[in-house]
Amino acid sequence: MLRLLLAVVLCLAGLVTVPPAWADLGTSGNHSFVSSAVKRVAPAVVRIDTERSVPRLGLDPAFNDPLLREMFGDQIPSSRERGQGSGIVIDSKGLVLTNAHVVDGAERVEVTLAGGESLEGSVLGTDPVTDLAVVRVPKSSALKAAPLGDSEALDVGDWAIALGTPYGLERTVTLGIVSSLHRNITSLGFSDKRLELIQTDAAINPGNSGGPLINASGEVVGINTLVRSGPGAGLGFAIPINLAKGVAAQLGEGGTVLHPYLGLQLVPLNARLARDNNADPNALLRLPERDGALVQRVIPESPAERAGLRRGDLVVSAAEQEVNEPAELLRLVEASQIGDALPITVLRGDEQIDLSIRPEALPHG
């Protein structure tokens, strides 16, 4: 009792500081919760080394000529380009999940397990739209599958731990938080991708691509895919594991991932932007003064054109759900079924129009 009273007096006097409640979060003995989380996943993190042939066009400008390239074919001088990334074992039978850009065009893939064993890998399939790929390696007793979590359970401010092999360094770990969720990749300048990303301030360096982003419990919640350089540097992005699970299941069976496609180019519209447009006497058309996804362009011979959508239409609902921005419409389209009717409501001037559109498979290339 005397000791307790003395401790209280010392604290009030400022002579003893009490650590904050989070200071011992997840600690075990002398180790932090980060160490415990990493130990669950680290055995499943792999390094991926690739080799591909690239033409040595710099030797002679003549080899840039398409006719010569067609005539000489493989005789055109080439060099071997090596690349490196990370991956995560998702099935102890030999399936490794990574980024599509890590193995893109690779003629040789070598997978080095956490214990140092190297295995020849073969790319089962890639999906450039989500930047995911599945690599198969021979079955080995050293293969340990990682525990996969639920990316939908994430909240902004949750701990985020990135694992990988940046710059060829083995098993590096960085710590941060989830900075944002549902970050649309098109806002980062990637018009050929269709997915929403987890944003984190955990350092993701070159070579971390394809490695796991894990939560405080040691579950994989994302696949590291890119880091922003230049203005805003220090932001990392990961593909949500819930999306990756579905894509990996299709690629692991040797299938092709099909993405529903409408054929629209969209821009966000809100009441303020619409009022500014409508106040301009030179405006080409009058816009509805409300939030929605404004059709900037309709791709010729697309499902959208066949359904009757026009430039200037404002999409305000799809699949009986309200649409306030393009990302919401894209999310609903991605969840739709190819060939099935998708109801869409648009505002065309002061007129509300209900349309039915049948998504087709997104064209490749």
Chain-centroid distance of CA 315 in Å reads 26
CA neighbor of 174 nearest in space, from 38, 313, 7, 331 = 38
Among 49, 86, 101, 179, the active-site one is 101
Please give the structure tokens belonging to residue 108: 């040789």
CB distance 302 to 327 below 8 Å: no
Among 131, 151, 317, 336, the active-site one is 131
CA neighbor of 239 nearest in space, from 291, 196, 300 = 196
- Give CA angle at 240 (238, 242), nearest 5°: 160
Phi then psi dihedrals of residue 38, to 5 deg = -65, -40
Chain-centroid distance of CA 31 in Å reads 31
CB distance 121 to 114 below 8 Å: no
User: Would you call 101 a catalytic residue per the annotation?
Assistant: yes
SS3 214: strand
Among 86, 151, 179, 209, the active-site one is 209
CA neighbor of 136 nearest in space, from 119, 148, 124 = 124
Q: If you count DSSP H runs as helices and E runs as strands, how many of each does the chain have, helices first?
A: 8, 20
Distance CA 303, CA 305 (A): 6
Find tokens 């691509």 and name the residue.
Answer: 209
User: Would you call 74 a catalytic residue per the annotation?
Assistant: no
* CB neighbourhood size of 341 (10 A): 13
Chain-centroid distance of CA 110 in Å reads 23
Which residues does 238 contact at the CB level (< 8 Å), separation at least 6?
162, 197, 198, 200, 204, 213, 221, 222, 223, 224, 225
User: Would you call 131 a catalytic residue per the annotation?
Assistant: yes
Active centre residues (catalytic):
101, 131, 209
